[in-house]
Amino acid sequence: MMLDFASQADYFWALLPEIVLSLAAMLVLLVDVFQKGNRSEPSRPIIGWLALAGVVVATAANVWIGDLTETGAAGMVAVDQFRIFTNYIFLLVAALSIMLSIGYLERHGMNLGEYFVLLMFSTVGMMLMASARDLILLFLALELMSVAIYVLVGFNRRDARSAEGALKYFMLGAFSSGFLLYGIALVFGSTGSTNLAVIAPLLDGGLAGESLMFLIGAALILTGLGFKVAAVPFHAWTPDVYEGAPTPITGFMATGVKAAAFAAFIRVFAVAFEGVYLQWASVIWWLAVATMVGANLVALTQGSVKRMLAYSSIAHAGYLLVALVSANSYGAAAFLFYLVVYTLMTIGAFGMVIANERGEKERVTLQDYAGLGWQQPMVGAFFSIFLISLAGFPLTGGFIGKVYILKGALDSGLSVLAVILVVSSLVSYFYYLRVVVVMYMQPASSQDAHSGMVLSAPARIALGVAAIAVLVLFFYPGPLLDAAQHSVASLFPDQGFLVGRP
Amino acid sequence: MGFYESHWVLTFLIFAPLVGAGIALAVPAKSAGKVALWTGIIEFLVSVPLFWTFEPLGPAMQNEVAAAWIPSWGIYYRLGLDGISLFMVLLTTLLLPLSVLGSWSYIQDRRNAYYAMLLALTTGVVGVFVAMDMFLFYVFWEMMLIPMYFLIGVWGGTERIYASVKFFLYTMFGSLLMLVAILYMFFRYQAVTGIASFSYFDFLQVPLSMGEQWWLFAAFAIAFAVKVPIFPFHTWLPHAHVQAPTAGSVVLAGVLLKMGTYGFLRFALPLFPGAATDRTTVLLFMVLGLFGIVYTAMVAAVQPNAKRLVAYTSVAHLGFAILGIFAFNIQGVQGALLLMIGHGVSTPMLFFLLGMLYERRHTYELADFGGLAASMPIFASMLVFSALATIGLPGTAGFSAEFLVLLGTFRAEPFVALVAATGVIVAAYYMLPMVQKIIFNSIDRDENRNLVDLNRREVGIMVPLIIVILWIGVYPRPFLDRMEPAVTRLVEYMELSSFAGPDGPGSPADIAAARAAAPLGGSR
């Protein structure tokens, strides 16, 4: 089917997955309300499953729009393979997070239907953000995603840290939205449009690219998105928020929010602002270095596993920035591939943090993991898989992903950045391994320190699938590599070529 | 094609231990050892005929295969065997059943996981020696770290965690830089030919300027130097050895260190001949080798801990191997290879003996022993034999190997050979006092009076090692014959490709000429 955005009705088809997911979210809300009436009680188990069904239907809709094509490329919403691919990632993130939440919410006495609704709306925001070809839509999508997440972070309102995290995230998030919006205004002022498809040719001609107003605007957009991906030095909120948030939401934020902001990064900078590559590339080059080195060094000193994983996710933002600064089809495809692996292993790792809870107690210090590997062999094995994949070690998808990013960087002649990536990930081995050391090489505090298992069946399935997928992506990465390469072909018609370089 | 003419024998040798590891995890703890032992015996028996089916005068690479793995990146499951890797594979498969036997009573808890790790380790090591795809090689190279890390960290001594993490991080440091170098080569090849390939044989054809060669050689050389280990990258080794369980030390000394020297012979030298044969590089490595021989021998001599002492001797011996390799002549390289095999049997023998002692006395401190010759005569004679083999007494493997290395080094750099020859004397200086303190002197501790001598299992571990040591020492011809064609090809290749042409040594044109004149094998 051919879409022509001259007709407003075609936007309906172009946005089908987002619309389906929004309707499903509203349905979940209504079912929850009608079941409870005006009584104050926990939601029924069906709510979680209903939310999951909504995600599945939205996935089906995403499959359907995979065949759509658009005339021209001037619509506010991009209908290209890049968007389809990122949509799958967001839906995967949502599905895994919902499955991890089932059981978790009951245990913590916050089983409310709104949780799933907010999660789904936030996912809609992410999907729109990755598809936005207009800066205004980008801003709206970012707000839709963020507002839902502000609430989710503070969802456990009896927990002081959860509330603290929510407030911090809200304050800094609002601040960064301001930056983004001001940047959009300046870009609009210097180019006369908010549509990326209109802006791009102006930059190629060197008209607006020279203007100071445009460059300041671009810098502010970079700052706004930098906050969302938690790149150093815009990362200060991350550890507290990730630590305070309910753990499934931490996983959701670390993967979904980051992926959405990066997708916007690619669309805005690597594609639309390609004409001024030389101006922004050096900035992102330094951001990548600061993020990789800074986050990995700080992660070394963390005593809490959850906080360590928070810093680890910052470090991974640094690796993804390397893919961004490569700004070639290799880099963008590497970015997509890496996002898939990163989603699986990060949600998996946070899932293992949930698995180590006992009762209401969140056991996150390193000592709480002593002897876990022997008393709970499956938990130990899965956590080890996720950790060595995060470290980028062979036998896991994380290795292929990292090699892919390195290939992208070397293809753009960024040898120094590649070496920095490699050396900083050597640092990361130390803190990932430390968890393995504690799990297997230190004795447990008692014989039954880890007896009992709190994970619900859906959560176990989600983690099992994620662990197996991480391994499969090493031994049989071909199909996903091809899909990633294929998905970025529409973004970079001059495949494999260096862009923006003399 | 039969089993031994095709790649199936290599594939079997790689994956059989992995299957065994899976079974060892599944069975009850008391039968895990039996599973591992049978896997080891089958692995060894299957590998033995390679010694005869390998045709020294046949094609450079035998038992080849290239099956697509990640075709869009040009990554293939590509294996091959030549006269250099043949003995490394055989050494690995020989040590596997022996180290299972050596762990028989030593390992009491978590046997399933222990034997699974030991078997998985073998998979990685065999893979490293036969992989001819750079990506595949890197994967095996890294994957063998995980089992070793657990072997040291879980079943090791009191400082096992420090030792295992140090081992892991040191090795990773080198190999991550190597990964960048491999990817760089990949791009250079793609830029020149337009084909994506990680094949070792394709990498040999990448035309590199001298500047590029320096950087890439450095990245590869550091990875291998850490593994060998060459002074001053050796500091992880004593810790790893002292803390590792016996079988861990055996595999570490027996084959893991050889992965480093193998890496030099297979990759670092032929891929970057200009940088490798440059006089500065050669002298640097020779001096570092000499440092290893003399300095670590001095350090070994003052160690109060027997296992640490033996660990330092490894650095000293591999210093000889480095000398032989960088002599770039047939005697030197053959000597280095022979030394790798000889060291791969004599040092494990020492570690086995120390492990048996540890099982009885739970200490490695030399001061705790004395006069064991009276209570353990069989043990005492074995220890004397292995110590003499380590020193390099004529008639043992060490002598033939060190003789060849010194011969080769003398032809290349006479003065280096002069200093290196003192290493043979220093070896006696650290080895003999150790033997004296353990088995001679007087019995001054009551615990040592009634120690049980070696049982049949323990003697059984020693017998194959003694046979190999004497065989190489007395009649090394069968070994030398099998490695000679491969070594000759390598030496000729290095000579031709570093010959000073119009663009200086090691230019792309020289490399292309060398490749045509002395191909290192590989059907395309």
Inter-residue contact B254 to B348 (CB < 8 Å) = yes
CA distances (Å), B71 to each of A333, B77, B142, B195, B500, in order? 16, 10, 21, 11, 38
CA distance A407 to chain B (A): 7
The letter for the amino acid at B327 is: A
CA B213 to chain centre: 25
pLDDT of A499 > 50? The answer is no
Q: How far apart are CA A477 and CA B480, in angstroms?
A: 43
Question: Which has more pLDDT, A496 or A63?
Answer: A63
pTM of the model: 0.92
Confidence label for B508 from pLDDT (cuts 50, 70 and 90):
low
pLDDT of residue A338: 93
DSSP bridge pairs for B365: B305
The three-state secondary structure class of A132 is: strand
Apex CA A362: angle with CA B162 and CA A39, to 5°? 165
From the list A227, A250, A248, A226, the residue with the least C-alpha distance to A237 is A227
CA distance A330 to chain B (A): 12
pLDDT of A496 > 60? The answer is no
DSSP A42: P
CA distance B151 to chain A (A): 10
Confidence label for B422 from pLDDT (cuts 50, 70 and 90):
confident
Place of tokens 């080849």: B64
> Is A441 in the B-facing interface, judged by CB distances under 8 Å?
yes
CA distance B110 to chain A (A): 9
| B7-34 pLDDT tens trace | 899 999 999 999 999 999 999 988 899 9
> Is A429 in the B-facing interface, judged by CB distances under 8 Å?
yes
| A423-447 pLDDT tens trace | 898 899 989 988 998 999 888 888 8
Chain B residues whose CB is inside 8 A of the A411 CB are 187
Closest CB to A406 among B110, B169, B180: B180
Place of tokens 């879980």: B154
Counting residues of chain A whose pLDDT is more than 70, the rounded percentage is 96
Nearest CA in chain A to B109: A374
Tokens of B362: 């739970």
pLDDT of A329 > 60? The answer is yes
Nearest CA in chain B to A473: B70
Chain B residues whose CB is inside 8 A of the A403 CB are 179, 183
pLDDT of B134 > 90? The answer is yes
The answer to whether A477 contacts B180, with C-beta atoms less than 8 Å apart, is no
CA distance A139 to chain B (A): 37
> Is A406 in the B-facing interface, judged by CB distances under 8 Å?
yes
pLDDT of residue A184: 94
The answer to whether A478 contacts B71, with C-beta atoms less than 8 Å apart, is yes
Using an 8 Å CB-CB cutoff, list residues of chain B that contact chain A: 70-73, 110, 138-139, 142-143, 146, 149-150, 153-154, 160-161, 164-165, 168-169, 172-173, 176-177, 179-180, 183-184, 186-187
The letter for the amino acid at B381 is: S
Closest CB to B172 among A418, A429, A441: A429
CA distance B184 to chain A (A): 7
Range A456-481 average pLDDT: 92
Chain A residues whose CB is inside 8 A of the B165 CB are 430, 433-434, 437
CB–CB contacts below 8 A, A to B: 72
The answer to whether A415 contacts B180, with C-beta atoms less than 8 Å apart, is yes
Residues 50-89 of A with CB under 8 A from B: none
pLDDT of residue A6: 67
Q: A492-501, B92-101, B298-307: which has the minimum mean pLDDT?
A: A492-501
Counting residues of chain B whose pLDDT is more than 90, the rounded percentage is 47
> Is A200 in the B-facing interface, judged by CB distances under 8 Å?
no
Disruptive mutation site among B15, B25, B69, B70 for chain A (greatest number of A CBs within 10 Å):
B70
pLDDT of residue A502: 30
pLDDT of B177 > 70? The answer is yes
Q: How far apart are CA A51 and CA A57, in angstroms?
A: 10
pLDDT of residue A498: 39
pLDDT of A388 > 50? The answer is yes
Q: Tell me what the pLDDT averaged over chain A comes to.
A: 88
The answer to whether A394 contacts B169, with C-beta atoms less than 8 Å apart, is no
CA distance A440 to chain B (A): 7
Q: For the residues of B435-477, what is the DSSP string, one character each?
A: HHHHHSS----GGGTT-----HHHHHHHHHHHHHHHHHHH--H
CA distance A453 to chain B (A): 22
CA distances (Å), B121 to each of A309, A320, B96, in order? 29, 33, 10
Contacts by A261-264, CB closer than 8 A, 24 or more apart: A261/A129, A261/A142, A261/A225, A261/A228, A261/A229, A262/A229, A262/A317, A262/A320, A262/A324, A262/A335, A262/A339, A263/A82, A263/A86, A263/A129, A263/A130, A264/A129, A264/A130, A264/A132, A264/A138, A264/A142, A264/A225
pLDDT of B514 > 80? The answer is no
Confidence label for A9 from pLDDT (cuts 50, 70 and 90):
confident
CA distance B190 to chain A (A): 10
Range B323-341 average pLDDT: 92
Confidence label for B88 from pLDDT (cuts 50, 70 and 90):
very high
- φ, ψ (nearest 5 deg) of residue B199: -65, 135
The three-state secondary structure class of A69 is: strand
The answer to whether B146 contacts A423, with C-beta atoms less than 8 Å apart, is no
| B423-442 pLDDT tens trace | 888 888 888 989 998 888 88
The widest CA-to-CA distance across chain B, in whole angstroms, is: 75
From the list B189, B42, B524, the residue with the least C-alpha distance to A411 is B189
Chain A residues whose CB is inside 8 A of the B149 CB are 433
Tokens of A441: 């090489």
> Is A411 in the B-facing interface, judged by CB distances under 8 Å?
yes
A157-191 burial: b if 16+ Cβ within 10 Å, else e: eebeebbbbbbbbbebbeebbebbbbbbebbbebb
The answer to whether B179 contacts A422, with C-beta atoms less than 8 Å apart, is yes
| A100-114 pLDDT tens trace | 999 898 888 888 889
From the list A206, A179, A310, A199, the residue with the least C-alpha distance to A253 is A310
Range B406-434 average pLDDT: 89
Q: Tell me what the pLDDT averaged over chain B comes to.
A: 88
Q: How far apart are CA B259 and CA B321, in angstroms?
A: 12
pLDDT of A475 > 60? The answer is yes
Question: Which has more pLDDT, A225 or A206?
Answer: A225
Tokens of B87: 């003995």
Nearest CA in chain B to A330: B73
Disruptive mutation site among A372, A378, A407 for chain B (greatest number of B CBs within 10 Å):
A407
DSSP A266: I
From the list B136, B300, B319, the residue with the least C-alpha distance to B229 is B319
The three-state secondary structure class of B68 is: strand
Chain A residues whose CB is inside 8 A of the B175 CB are none
Strand spans (E) along A53-156? 69-70
> Is A395 in the B-facing interface, judged by CB distances under 8 Å?
yes
The three-state secondary structure class of A443 is: coil
Counting residues of chain B whose pLDDT is more than 70, the rounded percentage is 95
The letter for the amino acid at B175 is: S
Chain B residues whose CB is inside 8 A of the A328 CB are none
Give me Rg for the CA atoms of chain A: 22
